[in-house]
């Protein structure tokens, strides 16, 4: 009996040792460096980060610079005109810019421009043509407080250029538009219709005048034919002063000036030889 009990205990101990060795081998193999972390083992290395997760939030320095530049252009210029642009190479675009810079602004508008510049002579280009990034211009327009500027947002699609002028001069803008159109028209005429390359396109689509009015393409020709602001002021002063001048003339006549001159002429006629009082009275 004692022998059987001792034998049973030895067999039980052998079974425990066998189970322990098998469990140890299984645990060692599961923790081997296979590139994967078991679900039942605590990972102390932290989450893995990928390259796309390291992108900075917000604008870069370049985008911040352009954002502030667009804000300044919309705020400081009395005229902002957007152009739709297609198939313009660098040479043609530079030619368009050069033609616009050659247009001289009228002297009255130049004086007003220097007045806005605190009396300092204006030695900068009167107008400028800027290529804009529409994806960046849209939040600029949304942020602006002027309703016409906000209304530009639906037009900000595709490749656009922006013409800005610090003074609103319809005569000057009309000359600039005609000057910019000449090199583009010449390029269109020289384009081969059989070529796979499309003809260049450069046309105005919408404008904002004095941050208070939205001008569409249909109204642009009539807008460029309007007189300049100094001319409008002179015409307005003339219209307002004309009734006053007429009233002053009537008051001068009522004061007796014209009546005295008439009586003096009649007296001289009566003093002529052969003129009697009766004939004078009949006259």
Higher pLDDT, 116 or 212: 212
The distance of Cα 209 from the centroid of its chain, to the nearest Å, equals 11
Higher pLDDT, 222 or 201: 201
The encoded tokens of residue 33 equal 């460096």
Assign residue 82 the CATH number of its domain: 3.30.70.1730
Spatial strand order of the sheet with 213-216 comes to 128-132, 160-165, 79-86, 201-209, 213-216
pLDDT tens for residues 42-54?
A: 455 556 665 555 5
The residues, any chain, with a CB within 8 Å of residue 83's CB and separated by 6 or more, are 160, 161, 162, 163, 202, 203, 204, 205
Residue 86 belongs to domain spanning: 61-231
Residue 16, in any domain of the structure: no
Per cent of the chain over pLDDT 90 is: 40
pLDDT at res. 184: 95
As a whole number, the mean pLDDT across the chain is 78
Residue 33, in any domain of the structure: no
Answer yes or no: is pLDDT of 271 > 90.
Answer: no
Higher pLDDT, 221 or 19: 221
Residue 214, in any domain of the structure: yes
pLDDT tens for residues 74-100?
A: 999 999 999 999 999 999 999 999 999
- Domain total for the chain? 1
Per cent of the chain over pLDDT 70 is: 61
Answer yes or no: is pLDDT of 199 > 80.
Answer: yes
Residue 12, in any domain of the structure: no
Residue 272, in any domain of the structure: no
The encoded tokens of residue 107 equal 């002297």
Residue 157, in any domain of the structure: yes
pLDDT at res. 268: 72
Answer yes or no: is pLDDT of 129 > 80.
Answer: yes
pLDDT tens for residues 145-164?
A: 999 999 999 999 999 999 99
pLDDT band at 168 (very low <50, low <70, confident <90, very high): confident
Residue 81, in any domain of the structure: yes
Q: What is the mean pLDDT of residues 222-246?
A: 66
Burial class, 171, CB count within 10 angstroms (exposed 0-12 / middle 13-18 / buried 19+): middle
pLDDT tens for residues 11-34?
A: 666 765 665 565 565 555 554 555
Residue 237, in any domain of the structure: no
């Amino acid at each position: 009996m004692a022998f059987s009990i001792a034998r049973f205990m030895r067999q039980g101990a052998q079974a425990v040792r066998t189970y322990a060795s098998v469990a140890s081998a299984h645990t060692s193999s599961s923790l081997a460096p296979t590139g994967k972390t078991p679900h039942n083992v605590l990972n102390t290395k932290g989450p893995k980060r990928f390259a796309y997760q390291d992108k900075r939030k917000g604008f870069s320095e370049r985008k911040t610079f352009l954002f502030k530049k667009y804000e300044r252009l919309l705020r400081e210029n009395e005229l902002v005109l957007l152009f739709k642009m297609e198939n313009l190479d660098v040479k043609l675009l530079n030619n368009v810019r050069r033609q616009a810079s050659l247009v001289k602004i009228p002297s009255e508008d130049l004086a007003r421009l220097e007045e806005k510049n605190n009396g300092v002579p204006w030695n900068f280009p009167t107008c400028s043509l800027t290529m804009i990034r529409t994806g960046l211009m849209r939040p600029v327009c949304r942020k602006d407080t002027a309703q016409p500027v906000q209304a530009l947002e639906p037009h900000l699609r595709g490749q656009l250029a922006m013409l800005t002028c610090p003074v609103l001069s319809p005569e000057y803008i009309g000359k600039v538009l005609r000057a910019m159109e000449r090199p583009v028209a010449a390029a269109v005429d020289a384009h081969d219709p059989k070529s796979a390359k499309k003809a260049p396109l450069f046309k105005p689509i919408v404008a904002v005048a004095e941050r208070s009015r939205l001008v569409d393409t249909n109204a642009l020709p009539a807008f460029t034919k309007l007189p300049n602001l100094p001319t409008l002021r002179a015409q307005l002063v003339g219209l307002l002063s004309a009734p006053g001048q007429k009233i002053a003339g009537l008051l001068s006549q009522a004061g007796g000036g014209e009546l005295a001159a008439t009586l003096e002429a009649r007296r001289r006629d009566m003093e002529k030889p052969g003129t009697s009082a009766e004939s004078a009275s009949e006259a």
